[in-house]
Amino acid sequence: MNPPILSSLAWSLVRTWGGRLAGFAIYFQLVRVLAPEDMGLFSAAFAVFVFLEIFADLGMVQAVVQRPQVTPAQLNAVLLLNMLAAVLLTAVLWSAAPLVETLVGIPRLGAVLQVGCLTLLFSSAGFAQEAMARRRFEFRRLAMRTLFSTIVGGAVGVWLAATGHGVWALVVQLLVSSALNAGALWLRPAWSLRVRPDFRGVGQLACFGTHVTGMRLVEYAGTRGVELLIAMLLGPHALGIYAVGTKIHYIFMQLLGLALSDVAQSGYARLAADLDRLRAAYLSSVSAAALAATPAWAVLSAAAPEIALIAFGPRWTACAQVLGPVALLGALQVLQKFDTAVLNALGRPGLTLMLSAARSLGALLAVWLAHDRGLAAVAMAFVASQLLVAPVNLWLLHRHLKAAWRGWIGCTWLPLFGGCLAWIAMSLARDADAVAHATALVRLLMLASIGGATYLVALAALGRRQLYGLWFDWRALRRPSP
């Protein structure tokens, strides 16, 4: 591999994982200090900020990165459009914040929106600079910027939270991080601002950006849109419990899903012309991921009370009613990362967008229908809505990958069945005296050991043929094609 590309890849990983791990560590510290109402209030405000940032960006960052050539004059046009959109959106949100507070029904939301909306200006100022840095493979610079802004902003937020400033600790943390991000990008500009903006080439960028914006809106509806709906229907306390309860699930998905999807996308694209090899690679990847990831999700679900207590403290034990069912869904969501990669490799991104839209719509309907039964019912309904889309997923794979659903069932039934057995064993063991009277950490270790042992016994008893087949498939895939 080319040394500059290898170095860029390494720094890209530092930027991605370093920033996320630092952010996760800071988040855990903040949650242990702040109350659920504060976390819920900020989550509702942040959902509004994310929604407006989609329109402030206009998909231009990705468009600039993808475009073969871009001139300084076009970059100035993009910067001007981003800033104009951000100023307009900031002004609208500032004026409409009291109305939004009334509609959502959360006290103090208006004030948080009016102060926090300044992040739109900071973020928009750095969009084009970040795009150029990515075009030039300046991932070391981006990595250091992300780590620095995350750590400094997080330190300020933790200090304010510890000194009793409540939700404003999160608002100030967001403002500081956003300002440092933008400032670090403009310390060494990628082009001159003296060049007159050229709007002639912006149309093509905007056309590409429209598709990016559509995809982001669909993803938003199934994530931040769900949180905003929970805030409106159940209030900030319930949203705080839900947001924190799904955080560990999100971390697991980031650690597992992001790495898997990136590798799978690159590997499947090379095999797109050979359907037989693509099918074999897909089934082998799904089988390996199911075998490796399923027991982790089973432990995360069955030991949700212990994990919530250890990670967030006693005031957050109610998070287990959200984390438990959502973690079980994670075992399927990791496998669906490969489905998306296959459909994209086959040139069917529209199908992945359709599936994402179906999941987002199902999630919103589930929250709406189950909200009057409490947060636990909402979590269960959310999981059910996502499971209902799974058969459509398999049908599309069967149609485009030919008989993939039979192979999918053949290579996933055992890990999923073993994971269910492990979950049942851990749930039954929880009532045993030795487990029930242990500390939370010891209880977690005991349950994880019981679940892991049950899973391994199930594989040894029923899955030796599948394990041997996976080994031979892996060796075959590693052989160079003739």
pLDDT (tens digit per residue) in 296-324: 999 999 999 999 999 888 889 999 999 99
Whether 63 shows a pLDDT value over 80: the answer reads no
Q: Is residue 276 part of a domain?
A: yes
Residue 358 and residue 418 share a domain? yes
Same domain, yes or no, for 31 and 180?
yes
Would residue 364 count as lying in a domain? Answer: yes
Higher pLDDT, 297 or 141: 297
Mark whether 444 and 321 lie in a shared domain: yes
Decide: 58 and 206 in contact? Cβ < 8 Å. Answer: yes
In this predicted model, which residue has the larger pLDDT, 371 or 281? 371
User: Is residue 65 a part of any domain in this protein?
Assistant: yes
**Confidence at 467, pLDDT banded by 50, 70, 90:** low
Token pair of 243, please? 């947001």
Whether 262 has a pLDDT exceeding 90, the answer reads: no
Identify whether 239 is part of a domain. no
Residues 115 and 19 in one domain: yes
Closest to 145 measured CA to CA, from 193, 200, 183 = 183
Residue 215 and residue 284 in one domain: no
On whether both 260 and 205 belong to a single domain, the answer is: no
pLDDT digits (tens, 9 = 90+) for 153-190: 999 999 999 999 999 999 999 999 999 988 888 887 76
Q: Does 220 share its domain with 274?
A: no
Residue 155: what pLDDT? 92
Q: Are residues 159 and 215 in the same domain?
A: yes
Contact 240, 249 (CB under 8 A): no
Are 341 and 445 contained in the same domain?
yes
Question: In this structure, are 148 and 294 located in the same domain?
Answer: no
Q: How far is CA 466 from CA 176, 403, 458, 463, in A?
A: 52, 18, 12, 5
Q: Work out the burial of residue 217: count CB atoms within 10 Å of its CB; fewer than 13 is exposed, 13-18 middle, 19 or more buried.
A: middle
Residues 6+ apart with CB under 8 A from 267: 281, 285
pLDDT of residue 481: 46
Rounded CA separation 296/293 (Å): 5
Range of the domain at 114: 3-190+199-234
- Together in a domain, 132 and 228: yes
What value does the mean pLDDT of the chain take? 83
Q: What is the pLDDT of residue 397?
A: 80
Exposed/middle/buried for residue 231 (C-beta within 10 Å: 0-12, 13-18, 19+): buried
Q: What's the whole-number mean pLDDT along residues 273-294? A: 83
Q: List the end-to-end C-alpha distance of the chain, in Å, as a whole number.
A: 22
Q: CA 354 to CA 335: how far, in whole Å?
A: 18
Which two tokens mark 274? 């050979």
Pick from 114, 51, 59, 121: nearest CA to 88: 121
Residue 7 banded pLDDT, cuts 50, 70, 90: very low
Residue 296: both structure tokens together? 């982790």
Give percent of the chain with pLDDT exceeding 70.
Answer: 82
Q: Is residue 241 part of a domain?
A: no
212 has a pLDDT exceeding 70: yes
pLDDT of residue 11: 43
Counting every residue, how long is the chain? 482
Q: Is 466 part of a structural domain of the chain?
A: yes
When divided into structural domains, the chain yields a total of 2
pLDDT of residue 401: 80
126 in a domain, yes or no? yes
Do 33 and 172 lie in one domain? The reply is yes
User: Which pTM was predicted?
Assistant: 0.83
Query: Quick check: is 170 in a domain?
Result: yes
- Tell me the C-alpha distance between 170 and 147, whole Å: 18
**Which residues, 6 or more positions from 78, have their beta carbon under 8 angstroms from its beta carbon?**
60, 64, 127, 128, 202, 205
d(CA 89, CA 95): 10
